[in-house]
Amino acid sequence: MQFITLRQFSPNDKSLPPLGKTLWWIPSATKNLALINAANKLGTELLHFTELYNSALDHIDLMRDYYNWQSFRPYECFSYCQYPFILSIVAKRIILTKDSEQQMILNARKSLVSKVARRQTPNIDIFFLNINVRRSHLVQDSLNEIAFKQKDLKKKLKVTFAGEPGLDMGGLTKEWFLLLIREIFHVEYGMFVYYSHSRCYWFSTGQKDHTNLREYNLIGVLMGLAVYNSIILDLSFPGICYRKLLSPPVVPTVNDDSVGIVQNPTLDDLNEIMPDVASGLRQLLEYEGNVQEDMGLTFQVSLEEHKTPKTHKLKPNGENIPVTNESREEYVNLYLNWILNLSIYEQFRAFYFGFHSVCASNALIMLRPEEVELLVCGTDALDLNELRKATEYDGYRPDDSIICVFWNVIESLSNEQKRKFLLFVTGSDRVPVGGMGDMNFKITRGPNRSDYLPEAHTCFNQLVLPQYSDHDRLKEKLVTAILNAEGFGME
């Protein structure tokens, strides 16, 4: 790693040979690291994938490297993007964001040219994906808008709530995501099942009539729009969901029947969703007695979803085929494949195509499933010292007594309250890729009124802080504000 960094950013003391004579150094060193990366994937990972990141490469011309990768054959031009394991998640986010921006510009330009060609007067709305919804019909209106505006999905997102004034500078978009996800994941919708032991959602296996495929597609579109527009979502999906999203990472032009299918799912995959079931299947595989006589299992799956037990056959006539010591491994494999692939195939297929209808980009090839999850959901690692260093002030100075008191109050909050504070000022309690140091946060001087509550403008990650006289009053008002805030409205 250090060798590549030193050669990429050569020291000024001329201690290294001229770059023209050592062009082979970086490609050769990277290929050696590729062997380590390949070996690391063969069995149990000895190195966490982040240990192969070279964060110094965050500072090279990443888009030039990306375009070289897109434009030339591997033997014609070296590119770090050929070896994505070496690029950090920050570098990949930069590439994906810049690629998204280029696609937004291209689509907006096409709309402008089309208007001019038809001799129509263009207006500013042609540059945006304009979503206009009623709060009382949020899901249905969102479905209709997205279905009607498929060609605009790769434009900058702008949301309007019908009958409400306000210009969307980011806050309304965040609120739309929040409310829509909350409604679709509600138990009454029956699309997803929440597993309390693992604290995650999984697709309902009971969707036999497939009436909700448009809604599953909508969730996929939402995830794609979130990545495309750099919005962090509060989603609790297991890791295998993101592996399925990248199976394959680019939508096939033909024979798309296998999209979203994970080959040879394991008990570890199931353990992320149903740890109790995974534990029972492990015990079955390790059981030393007579499985058929002692357990009385047949080739069926029994699941309870939304308080309703259901039974499914794992093979024809499965209810009459006993599980024996010899067939228990087959039973477990069929069980895993049914839960994680077959039973949710149509639902996940709609979800997959929804996501890729927005995020169709070769940049996805470079991402691991864990990295896609980070881009969608951010991280839960709070480092308020980093946020403090990145904070800008309007009307206050960093060394003002009230600012020092403010940060002391923030430090004294519980972890749950700190998350609510982050939600209050940014619209999300998750931290984006790059950490809190990369966030834009501004504290603005408020009125000299101790009875006023702090205000937040989530569009701009801005906190309006009144001029409180002491520590106790500031903490009282701040905690009251963050614990009673809901939604974003015009802010």
Closest CA to 366 of 88, 81, 54: 81
What is the distance between the alpha carbons of residues 430 and 381, in angstroms, rounded to a whole number? 8
Buried b vs exposed e over 300-339: b needs ≥16 C-beta within 10 Å? bbebeeeeeeeebbbeeebeebebeeebbeebbebbbbbb
- According to DSSP, the β-strands at 308-313 and 300-305 are antiparallel
Q: Residue 160's beta-bridge partner residues?
A: 132
Q: Which residues are catalytic?
A: 459
DSSP of 37-67: HHHHHHSS-SS-GGGG--GGGGGS-HHHHHH
The 8-class DSSP code of residue 431 comes to B
E strand residue ranges, 358-429:
391-394
Q: At what angle do helices 415-426 and 471-483 cross, to 10 degrees?
A: 70
Q: In what order do the strands lie in the sheet with 455-457?
A: 391-394, 441-445, 462-465, 455-457
Pairwise CA distance, residues 374 & 93, whole Å: 10
Query: Which helix (H) or strand (E) segment is 194 a member of?
Result: strand 192-195
How many helices, marked H, and strands, marked E, lie in the chain?
18, 10
Retrieve residue 317's tokens. 């006539």
Kindly state the DSSP code that residue 394 receives in the 8-state scheme. E
- Using alpha carbons only, what angle is made at residue 87 by residues 83 and 92, rounded to the nearest 5 degrees? 110
Residue type at position 132: N
Q: Is the dihedral of CA 88, 89, 92, 98 positive or negative?
A: negative
Cβ atoms < 10 Å from Cβ of 1: 15
Q: Rounded CA gap, 207 and 154, in Å? A: 30
Give which of 329, 219, 315, 332 is closest to 271, Cα–Cα: 332
For 223, counting Cβ atoms within 10 Å of its Cβ (0-12 exposed, 13-18 middle, 19+ buried), the class is buried
